[in-house]
Amino acid sequence: MKRIAIPALVLALCGGVLMSVLAQDAPKSSVVAAAAAPAAAASAEPAPDVVCFESRKGGATDVIQREIRPGWPNVKCSPTTGAVLWYGDPYDGTVPMGKMPQLEALPEGKAVVKPRTAKLNLAPMCGTACHNGVGPKFTPPTLPKDKRAKPTPTMAAMVPDLANLQHGRDRIWCLDCHHTTKRNMYVDHFGDPISMDQPQLLCGKCHGDKLRDWRDGIHGKRIGEFASNGKKRWFTCTECHNPHNVQDGARNKGFVQLQPETPPQLPKGMKSAAYEKTHPIAQH
């Protein structure tokens, strides 16, 4: 018995000594790691923003992905096309749409839109620098003698679509849509300005049938509550259509074609979607 107890005691003493040595070394290593952590964090570059689009590409409807709350993003983006696939909050960043003819019965605040003026980089400059209708050069505003406006090199460089304006098939010109002196606003048939956040009021001047369909919910896009009088985000005309290139060049198909998404994955354990072909009511 003594032969077993003595070696066990020696082994225990050695283990205690070893543990004390390791315990003394541990704070030093943790201090070094703690000191290195801030340096590593400082040298690491921040992750780039995840940007996807809602209706059309090119900065018109870009959305930066962010968290509304921990683990809950405002949007989910397609890794294939970059399009928005899912909304964590469909009303994020929206404001009341404002007054619309024949929508007076719609409860206030039930129709919301996402303002786009802040995304139009040229809007502030157009309204204050060049086409503001004031100053010695613009009093009164100097307008072309005819309506076949020729874009200047500066304008053509800033807005390439103007070089081949495809709206109205050469039967309209710039000031049929843009206000004479407030170029960062649209204009109605009475000469009154229209906010660029309310393009439906402009487009309805010529496209009355499309405005009617959009108002009735059979043209365009809405997300939000399912009820007919529920709160919804309405997508406005210029969120889907480029007003300077409505025929989309040689395609002449109305708007840019988007790459289709792959079909959604079936739930785990389901081998096919044949259940969608079954009907609870007998077919006649």
User: What pLDDT digit, counting tens, does each position of 204-238 carry?
Assistant: 999 999 999 999 999 999 999 988 889 999 999 99
pLDDT band at residue 200 under the 50/70/90 scheme: very high
Instruction: Report H helices in 129-221.
Output: 153-158, 199-203, 208-216
**CB–CB of 150/270 below 8 Å?**
no
186 and 116 in a common domain: yes
Q: CA angle, corner 194, sides to 222 and 61, nearest 5? A: 40
Model pLDDT, residue 211: 95
The enclosing H or E element of 178 equals: none
Adjacent-strand bridge partners of 72 = 69
The verdict on residue 2 lying in a domain is no
242 and 120 in a common domain: yes
234 and 172 in a common domain: yes
pLDDT band at residue 129 under the 50/70/90 scheme: low
What percentage of residues in the chain have a pLDDT greater than 70? 72
Model pLDDT, residue 47: 81
| Pairwise pLDDT comparison (6 vs 75), residue with the higher score | 75
The verdict on residue 12 lying in a domain is no
**Concatenated DSSP letters of 57-102:** TTTTSEEE--EEETTEESEEE-TTT-BEEEES-TTTT-EE----TT
Q: Averaged over 138-157, what is the pLDDT?
A: 67
pLDDT digits (tens, 9 = 90+) for 48-106: 888 999 988 877 889 999 998 888 899 999 988 899 988 999 999 999 998 898 888 88
124 and 58 in a common domain: no
143 and 76 in a common domain: no
236 and 169 in a common domain: yes
pTM of the model: 0.71
209 and 71 in a common domain: no
The verdict on residue 227 lying in a domain is yes
The verdict on residue 267 lying in a domain is no
Model pLDDT, residue 260: 79
Model pLDDT, residue 280: 59
226 and 148 in a common domain: yes
Domain extent, residue 62, equals 48-89
- Contacts of 153-160 with CB under 8 Å at 24 or more apart are 158/122, 159/122, 159/244
> For all residues of the chain together, what is the average pLDDT?
77
Tokens of 179: 């206000």
The verdict on residue 4 lying in a domain is no
The verdict on residue 25 lying in a domain is no
123 and 62 in a common domain: no
Statement: residue 262 has pLDDT above 90: no
143 and 116 in a common domain: yes
The verdict on residue 5 lying in a domain is no
81 and 98 in a common domain: no
207 and 175 in a common domain: yes
Q: How many domains does the chain have?
A: 2
